[in-house]
Amino acid sequence: MSNAMATVPASRTWQRHTVGQKLARTALWLLIAVAVALSVQSINVIWEFLWDAPEQMMDMGRRMWPPDLAYYPKTVHAALMETFHIATLGTIFSMVFALPLSILAAHNITPHKGLNLFAKTMLVSSRSVNSLVWALLFVAVFGPGPLAGAVAIACRSVGFVGKLLGEALEEVHFGAIEALKAAGASQTSQILYGYWPAVKPAFWSIMLLRWDINIRESSVLGLVGAGGLGMAMNAAIDTFEWDRVAVILLTIFAVVVIGEVVVTYFRRRLI
């Protein structure tokens, strides 16, 4: 080693990247530029509509103001409770299904390539289909209503919770598990007394995060008929009652803010 170093000529100029790395980076920048240029050129935009936009926004603002506050106790409150139930039930369901899948996906608990791949494929499919698309599917299965929404939320959340929990399980320190194994603990005992205490804080924080996301997502599921605030909003938009839409938007904003406060409070207590 020291011999090789000594032979480097003193006049050598050091460079941070090799020629290959430079080429790869330049190619990437070019690729980004070309992708953006092509997209701008070929995307289907009606420019007259864009110039018209400020006027349209002003018009919408005028129609929204003042918000029809009397509408809240009549319809919006019930829809809000429905949204809350959809999000919470969906989170609870997803927890039930994500636990076994995450155990199957973690290669240190399940040392079986086929099972790992199976669980990971299930989790990826769950994640790549949007909750709105899941809702479309389950509206076709269960009929319109909040039940389809809750199942859709659960199906979308399984992938998220399962992936993060599986990663947390894979990062569990080996020492505790080895100690349990040495004491003759069964697989179940290893999971209950070795893995679970190690991932417990991560688990609750993942569930809280997902609940927060689910509250936001379940407020739009109604647009495809899966119950909750979205259903009320869809009805109001279809009848051009923008003052009612404004009430619903304000409600969603309030819910999101409250959700964030609640989650922050619990996270501080739990972790």
Partner 1 sequence: MSGARLGPTARGKRSGIRPFHSSWQAKLLAIVVAAYAVYALGQLEFSAERFVKGLDNGARFLARMFPPSYRNGDQIVTGFVESMQIAVLATFFGVMLSLPIAVLGARNLMPAWATWPARLIVTLCRAFNPVIVAIVFIKAVGFGALAGVLALIVASVGFVGKLFMEAIEEISMKQIEAVRATGAPFLSVVTYGVLPQVIGRLVGFCTYQLDANLRNSTMVGIVGAGGIGAALFAGFQRFEYDFVLAILITIIAVVLLGEFASNYVKRIFHV
Contacting positions for partner 1 (CB under 8 A): 17, 21, 24-25, 28, 32, 35-36, 38-40, 42-46, 49-50, 52-53, 56-57, 60, 81-82, 85-86, 88-89, 92, 124-125, 127-130, 132-133, 136-137, 140-143, 145-147, 150, 192-193, 197, 216-217, 219-220, 223-224, 227, 233, 237, 249, 252-253, 256-257
Q: Closer CB to partner 1, residue 70 or residue 124?
A: 124
Tokens of 206: 């993942």
**Shortest Å distance, C-beta 140 to partner 1:** 6
Q: Are 270 and 204 in contact (CB under 8 A)?
A: yes
Q: How far apart are CA 249 and CA 65, in angstroms?
A: 12
Q: Closer CB to partner 1, residue 111 or residue 270?
A: 270
Q: Closer CB to partner 1, residue 115 or residue 237?
A: 237
**Shortest Å distance, C-beta 230 to partner 1:** 8
**Shortest Å distance, C-beta 168 to partner 1:** 19
The DSSP code sequence of 160-198 is HHHHHHHHHHHTS-HHHHHHHHHTT--HHHIIIIIIHHH
**Shortest Å distance, C-beta 193 to partner 1:** 5
**Shortest Å distance, C-beta 110 to partner 1:** 22
Q: Closer CB to partner 1, residue 6 or residue 50?
A: 50
**Shortest Å distance, C-beta 123 to partner 1:** 12
Omega into 144 within 30° of 0, i.e. cis?
no
Q: Closer CB to partner 1, residue 102 or residue 214?
A: 214
CA 247 to chain centre: 26
Q: Closer CB to partner 1, residue 32 or residue 69?
A: 32
Q: How far apart are CA 245 and CA 149, in angstroms?
A: 21
Q: Closer CB to partner 1, residue 57 or residue 69?
A: 57
Q: Are 219 and 252 in contact (CB under 8 A)?
A: yes
Q: Where are the alpha helices (H) located in the chain, listed in sequence order?
A: 2-6, 19-42, 47-51, 53-64, 71, 77-105, 113-128, 131-142, 146-170, 174-182, 187-189, 196-218, 229-238, 242-270
Residue found under tokens 């407020």: 219
CA 167 to chain centre: 16
**Shortest Å distance, C-beta 114 to partner 1:** 18
* Radius of gyration of the chain measured on its C-alpha atoms: 26
